[in-house]
Amino acid sequence: MTQKYDKEFKLNVVKVYLSNSKSIEQIAQDLGISCASLGDWIKQYKREEERSFPGSGHVMKKN
């Protein structure tokens, strides 16, 4: 089963990475998340900053 993380958690983890000298691997291991997920979150945050992670992971239909 896939673990779901909320926006606040993702933002906090990314900010820890950006303000810390630890590697992605070390932070992911410390928090029990995958390196791939953390790497994706960092990329998204660098593109969109505080607008990152807008929903609950459900696809929204556009009218």
Residues 6 or more apart in contact with residue 45 via CB below 8 angstroms: 10, 11, 14, 18, 52
Q: Is the pLDDT of residue 59 over 80?
A: no
Count how many Cα atoms sit within 13 Å of the Cα of residue 51 in the half-sphere of its side chain: 2
- Cα 18 from Cα 24, distance rounded (Å): 10
Amino acid 50: pLDDT: 77
pLDDT in tens, 2-54: 678 889 999 999 999 999 889 999 999 999 999 999 999 999 999 888 788 87
Is the predicted pLDDT of residue 63 greater than 50, yes or no?
no
- pTM of the full structure: 0.76
Cβ neighbours of residue 50 under 8 Å, at least 6 residues apart? 11
